Amino acid sequence: MSELKRMAAIHDLSGLGKCSITAALPIVSASGVECCCIPTALLSTHTGGFTGWTFRDLSEDMVPIAKHWNSLGMKFDAVYSGYLASPEQGELLCECIDLLSDEDTLVIVDPAMADNGRYYANLGPDMTECFKKIIGRADIITPNMTEACFLTGTEYRSVGNDDEFVERLLDALTELGPETVVITGVCSSDGEVGIVGRDSKNGEVCRLMSPARNGTFHGSGDVFASALSALLVRGFEFERALRLAQEFVADCVDRTERRCGGGNYGLDFESALPRYIAKINE
Ligand code: PXL
């Protein structure tokens, strides 16, 4: 048995809607990695497509939690962050990264702030400025197409994300500091959607495209980034990790589509986990 890897997951906890911590915790654990959570905020649901959600900012707890773990001498093989409740939390996230990482820690930042060309509710351009600083601290980033455009000051295109356009984004994002960039929700002009990543080790671009689906599948980005982060920290080779994470999301989307056609309530990842676990342990 290889040694159990440990990850700190720093995201909001939205009780219903299966994103952020409620996706990261089960998926990272199922991937065979210990997942220690620092919630950035507590919400009744995520903010995409719901109204009337409750919201409690947990900024005050973030650094004290990281300090406590640090005082226990805990080592983290990865720090994986996602949605932040405010740009001010960016500073706190950097403090947490300082407290929890050393030179061997993989820092994965998902700059979760926008989708479909728009910021999530209550967030705006100051979030882009905040994430631009944070991703300078990251080894790997996983923006969706909207976030990739916002971070690089590029006009968002819902389709027509051809190779040249995507490679320009990869270059511009790499200039912000991370070694490895993975862009999700890349829509080509011929009706395909997928992921494009560039492995820092060999500079090769990996494109994994499949036919686009109808409907919205909220939480897909978080399911993907959670699986990818866990597989990378376990030492899976980059292209294999990308492929396994993408196949897992596709299976979750199939199941969600068959059951209800999609929506805000998150992906049916629970029933896809056994097959995913079997595949990654083959
Ligand atoms: O999945 C991204 C996400 C995470 N957390 C909260 C959100 C969203 C997207 O809407 O609202 C609270």
pLDDT, tens digit (0-9, with 9 covering 90-100), for 138-161: 999 999 999 999 999 999 999 999
Q: Which of 83, 146, 249, 269 most suits a substitution to test ligand 1, by most atoms within 8 Å of the C-beta? A: 83
Q: Is any atom of ligand 1 closer than 6 Å to the C-beta of 47? A: yes
The pLDDT of residue 190: 82
For residues 263 and 257, what is the distance between their CA atoms, to the nearest angstrom? 9
For 93-129, b/e burial (b = at least 16 CB within 10 A) is bbebbebbbeeebbbbbbbbbbbeeebbeebeeebbe
Assign 214 a pLDDT band (cuts: 50, 70, 90).
confident
Q: Is any atom of ligand 1 closer than 6 Å to the C-beta of 19? A: yes
**Is the pLDDT confidence value at 1 over 70?**
no
Instruction: Decide if 219 contacts 19 (C-beta within 8 A).
Output: yes
For residues 39 and 165, what is the distance between their CA atoms, to the nearest angstrom? 35
- pLDDT tens, position by position, 189-203: 888 999 999 998 899
Q: Is any atom of ligand 1 closer than 6 Å to the C-beta of 12? A: yes
As beta bridge partners, residue 141 has 109, 181
Assign 73 a pLDDT band (cuts: 50, 70, 90).
very high
Distance from the alpha carbon of residue 186 to the mean position of ligand 1, in angstroms? 19
The pLDDT of residue 154: 98
High-pLDDT (> 70) share of the chain, %: 100
**Is the pLDDT confidence value at 12 over 90?**
yes
Residue nearest atom 9 of ligand 1, based on CA coordinates = 48
Mean per-residue pLDDT, 232-238: 97
Mean per-residue pLDDT, 248-266: 96
The pLDDT of residue 83: 97
Taking the C-alpha atoms of 134, 93, 35 and 31 in order, what is their torsion angle to the nearest 10 degrees? -10
For residues 93 and 130, what is the distance between their CA atoms, to the nearest angstrom? 10
Assign 134 a pLDDT band (cuts: 50, 70, 90).
very high
Degrees to nearest 5, angle at CA 81 with 153 and 115: 40
Mean pLDDT of the chain: 97
Pairing assessment for the beta strands 118-119 and 114-115 based on DSSP bridges? antiparallel
The pLDDT of residue 159: 93
Mean per-residue pLDDT, 271-279: 98
The pLDDT of residue 13: 98
Joined tokens for residue 266: 């998150």
